[in-house]
């Protein structure tokens, strides 16, 4: 079968390929520390698991409305209104299997062939993949180590052309852990207003923040009409496998995104959505405990990496990733990631898995125990010494 031409433009997420390679080595008896995959290593909090189980027992095993069950849309609208300080109605909410489909659907619904989309680079690989897939031009916003991996907002206006349709922002950010400041967001808002742009604001790591308060693009005056907020349960509540996320957007767009849901998934799994209601309305203690533990791990991995000759690591403010520069090892990021897997038994991702501006860097996820992080650090140090 001959694939459609657009398929040659569709990218992927390397994390899954590296995981497969690590698993293959494990099958041969090698021990591998997994620092490649971006998911919390904690179990989903028990109150949420119970709510999902109860929903199954109660027979919530049928289709639900494409945009989600009213109770969850209501809970999301309430949560978003409260945390963003703006009025959000349930009609503005579309529930999806994970936050990822919001990228897919927003780009499909809004971006035409020949349009341009600005996006962070290095960034979550699916942004670039989807922009290319629809035949649009992906215009990178380079993230710079000197700016703690925030992009230079003063250059933003220069990157906008008459064909620019959308800006994608992500804060806290994958893969660098950077956080955009309120001043940054205000400049973005100004540029978006001036050029009538849509902003896809990926805030899936909103709670995994180690200092200050999360500032949402949706909170900025006048931005509700041009913002799609991408959010979800995977990271905040360790629910990656439940597949539960959502978008908050103007009501007219929600109708289109809902139609894309009807045409693809029909709906998000119904019992999963009931677990989501409990996640938002129940105790938040387990979630905050996870964040405290992530901070403890960050405070082990950052100094540990900086102590290794040839490696230099900025301290991230959020998410659970570090993005150290490894040029001092004399290897490029792909060679070094391969070398760490083979020599140190540590699985990491090359920075270029997140775009061309990831050259010279690797990404490590510290969603792993302090014990494993320490083990990985000493193996990396030993491997680097051999170079
Ligand atoms: N956005 C970012 C920046 C991510 O890193 C991820 C997952 O790794 C997602 C969105 C999607 O998460 P999910 O589809 O599991 O909700």
Mean pLDDT by groups of 10 residues along the chain of 387 residues: 96 89 95 93 97 98 98 98 98 98 98 98 97 98 96 94 98 98 98 98 98 96 98 97 98 98 98 98 98 98 98 98 98 97 97 97 97 98 97
Q: How far apart are CA 132 and CA 117, in angstroms?
A: 10
Architecture of domain 58-281: 3-Layer(aba) Sandwich (3.40)
* pLDDT given for residue 89 in this prediction: 98
Distance 101 CA to ligand 1 centre (A): 9
CB 276 near ligand 1, within 6 Å? no
Which pair of tokens denotes residue 132?
């290319």
Q: How many C-beta neighbours within 10 Å does residue 58 have? A: 10
Cα distance between residue 164 and residue 154, in whole Å = 17
CB 379 within 8 A of CB 305: no
- Give residue 8's pLDDT: 95
177 lines ligand 1 (CB under 6 A): no
Angle at which helix 100-110 crosses helix 125-133, to 10 degrees, equals 30
Task: Say how many Å lie between the CA of residue 169 and the centre of ligand 1.
Answer: 13
Q: Quote the pLDDT of residue 16.
A: 85
Domain with CATH 3.40.640.10 in the chain: 58-281
CA 370 to CA 150: how far, in whole Å? 27
Would you state the pLDDT for residue 170? 98
Residue 162 is given by DSSP the state: T
Residue-level pLDDT at 38 = 87
Atom of ligand 1 minimally distant from the CA of 240: 15
331 alpha carbon – ligand 1 mean position (Å): 29
Residue 324, Cα to own-chain centre: how many angstroms?
A: 18
For residue 350, report the distance from its CA to the centre of ligand 1, in Å. 18
Centre of ligand 1 to C-alpha 202, Å, is 8
Q: Is the CB of 170 under 6 A from ligand 1?
A: yes
125 lines ligand 1 (CB under 6 A): no
Atom of ligand 1 at shortest range from CA of 173 = 3
Alpha-carbon gap, residue 300 to 303, rounded angstroms? 6
Q: How far is the CA of 386 from the centre of ligand 1 (A)?
A: 36
To test the ligand 1 pocket, which listed residue (39, 203, 232, 318) has its Cβ within 8 A of the most ligand atoms? 232
For ligand 1, say whether the CB of 40 is within 6 Å of any of its atoms: no
Mutational test site, ligand 1, from 128, 174, 228, max ligand atoms within 8 Å of CB:
174
CB 124 less than 6 A from any atom of ligand 1 = yes
Ligand 1 pocket test, candidate residues 12, 37, 100, most atoms within 8 A of CB = 100
Establish whether residue 123 lines the binding site of ligand 1, counting it when its CB lies within 6 angstroms of any ligand atom: no
- Give residue 68 CA to ligand 1 midpoint distance, Å: 19
Domain with CATH 3.90.1150.10 in the chain: 5-44+285-385
Give the other-Cβ count within 10 Å of 57's Cβ.
10
To which H or E segment does residue 322 belong? strand 321-322
**Topology given in CATH for the domain delimited by 5-44+285-385:** 3.90.1150
């Amino acid at each position: 079968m001959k694939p459609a031409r657009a398929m040659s433009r569709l990218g992927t997420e390397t994390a899954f390929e590296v995981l497969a390679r690590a698993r293959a080595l494990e099958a041969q008896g090698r021990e591998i520390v997994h620092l490649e995959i971006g998911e919390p290593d904690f179990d989903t909090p028990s109150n949420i698991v119970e709510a999902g189980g109860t929903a199954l027992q109660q027979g919530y095993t049928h289709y639900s409305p494409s945009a989600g069950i009213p109770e969850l849309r209501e809970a999301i609208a309430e949560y978003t209104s409260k945390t963003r300080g703006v009025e959000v109605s349930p009609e503005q909410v579309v529930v999806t299997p994970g936050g990822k489909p919001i990228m897919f659907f927003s780009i499909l619904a809004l971006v035409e062939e020949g349009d341009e989309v600005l996006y962070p680079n290095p960034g979550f690989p699916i942004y670039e993949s989807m922009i290319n897939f629809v035949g649009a031009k992906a215009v990178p916003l380079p993230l710079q180590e000197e700016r703690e991996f925030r992009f230079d907002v003063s250059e933003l206006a220069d990157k906008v052309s008459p064909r620019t349709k959308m800006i994608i922002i992500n804060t806290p950010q994958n893969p660098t852990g950077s956080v955009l400041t309120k001043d940054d967001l205000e400049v973005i808002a100004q540029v978006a207003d001036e050029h009538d742009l849509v902003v896809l604001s990926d805030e899936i790591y909103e709670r995994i923040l180690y200092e200050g308060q999360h500032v949402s693009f949706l909170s900025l005056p006048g931005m509700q009409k041009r913002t799609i907020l991408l959010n979800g349960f995977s990271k905040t509540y360790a629910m990656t496998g439940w597949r539960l996320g959502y978008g908050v957007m103007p009501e007219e767009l929600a109708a289109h995104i809902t139609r894309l849901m009807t045409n693809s998934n029909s709906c998000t799994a119904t019992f999963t959505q009931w677990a989501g209601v409990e996640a938002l309305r129940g105790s938040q203690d387990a979630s905050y405990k996870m964040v405290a533990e992530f901070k403890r791990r960050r405070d082990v991995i950052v100094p540990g990496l900086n102590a290794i000759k040839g490696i230099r690591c900025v301290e991230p403010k959020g998410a659970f990733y570090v993005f150290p520069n490894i040029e001092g090892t004399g290897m490029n990021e792909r060679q070094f990631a391969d070398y760490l897997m083979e020599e140190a038994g540590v699985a990491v991702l090359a920075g270029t898995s997140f775009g061309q501006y990831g050259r010279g860097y690797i990404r490590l996820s510290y969603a792993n125990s302090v014990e494993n992080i320490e083990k990985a650090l000493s193996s990396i140090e030993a491997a680097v010494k051999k170079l």
